[in-house]
Structure 1
Amino acid sequence: MTLALERFDVDGLGERRLSAVRRLVAAGGRGLWLAPIVAALAVTTLYPTVFLIALSLSKSSLGSPFRAFVGLDQFGRVLTDPVFLAAIGRSIVYGFVGSALQLVAGFAIALLFSSLITGGRLLVSLVLLPLMTPPVMVGVAWKLILAPAGGLLNGWLLAAGIIEAPISFLGTGGWAWLSIGLADFWQWTPFIVILCFAALTTLPDGVIEASVIDGANARQRLIHIILPALAAPLASIFVLKLIIAFKLFDLVYVLTFGGPGFDTTNAGFAIWKHGLQEFDVAQAAAETLIYAVVIGLVTLPVVKLHAALERWDT
């Protein structure tokens, strides 16, 4: 009896040890699967960030980096530069206003497509065309359309008698930003349409049909059923488009080159200009880090709202 109990205890201990070993092996296997991802993130994110910090703390040019350690002098220059601070302000305003308008328009178009009995998915596929066009080509096309001499838009407005003389859409500050926004709207609204259309397909048909039977009209279904159900996905789409808008550079470069004056110089263009045109990569690095912090701060409330909506949705 005693020997049997001892044997039982030994066998039980062995099984427990074997289970622990299996758990360790399983955990190690998961770690091995994650190792390439961690390594890729370290190379593509950690190294550039450390390099940027090192550049921002030094006196560096494009051809001669790390000539001397200057501490926080570059950050002091950037934070007292009215041109760059104004550029950050333009980026923030354009990001929020442009993203909000594109979300409203994209959701409305997606709602229209989803209401079609046939052809909705085909139309969604067709609106992909602007999204597949390279941004530089989008800028060139819109620059030709908006040109004061021979431009398609000025030609139409003159022919219709709406204007008496061509408008320099890209030569005046207000019109220039509207022109950039129009080109950006044309390219990125299809992206919003696709995401919103996908979100609309997740709505249960039974709920919509029941509301129709109960006598709810289209406006009531939108306000009381569709929007509350899709609040979290729409917030996700807005955050994604906001990040894309904060990175705007190519359209500014092609359409206005930051002008007239500094009227359309946003943060991305200012960083490029200081780093790759004036070769002051140290200042550009400091500007990049400051802009990243600003983006994090201004998007934090939106991200928190998105998290709150997701918790409410569940």
Structure 2
Amino acid sequence: MNRKNTLLVMLMISTLSFAQFVPIGHLNIFSEDGDRFTLILNGEVINDVPQTNLRVEDLNQPYYNAKIRFEDKTLLDVSKNNLMITDPDGIFMDVTYKIRRDKNNRTKMKMNYFSAIPVVPDFIPPSNVHVIHYGQPIAPPVRGGVSQTTTTTTQVGGTNVGVGVNIGGVNMGISINDGIGNGVVTQTTTTTTTNHSNNIDVHHDEPIRGCGGNSCMTPGNFNAALATIKNQSFEDTRLKTAKQVITANCLNVDQIIQIANTFSFEDNKLDFAKYAYDFCIEPRNYFKLNGIFSFSSNVDELSDYVQSRQ
């Protein structure tokens, strides 16, 4: 019996050690102009619902062939072969790529390297980032309450050792009994009810709060961010800074209006208003932004854009 227990412990240690030292990297892709996209890696569709800010975790290859397909069919696909997940020394990183529209051709898109940082264990991404664990199946759309799994294990005599390990999104389970004829009977019952994502009203099927149901920026943080935006000398830089601020934060309608009013050109106001929609906690009140425009054509364009996203 002691020899058997020793073998089991060694098996557990070796399995856990293998899981601990499997190198992995993470990939972040965001759209600077707020265009929703689907990512395809090595021919595999990663996100079934188009996103503007996507994070793919647990990538175990140094290079991937990537393709970006946009929800807006007027925008051309972007393909990038040998997209790097490692640094030049082959060390896996947490890399970020940026998608933007070509200045000379608004239907042509570009995806450029943006940054890379060392992989941080247990990193928690911002709430507005859609996270996919590579290698795990995409969960089908669900509606309703909360998913719950109940497992009951009954052991009839003997010795039983169980090991569960997750390696790069793959679950490994090991169950061993003493082989004397006594075994372990495991019964698993799964009852699934689900909530709408983004706080959906189950009675009316309408979004209650946008931006993942999170709260908007506090007045102090917002005022500091607004001052930073206003301090930019050029309007293009001001627009980029504003987008950078809200990419990592949620805003209410009044905060979005204040930022939009820092722009002199209506085209920039419209650009920002479209981009900010995904980060607004109260999308039902987005009609209030109509007041920032002098031209009715811009009001109509924003209204059409909002309706297309609902």
Q: TM-score, normalised by structure 2?
A: 0.25
Higher relative contact order (CA 8 A, sep 6+): 1
Structure 1 length-normalised TM: 0.25
Based on CA coordinates, which of the two structures has the bigger radius of gyration?
A: 1
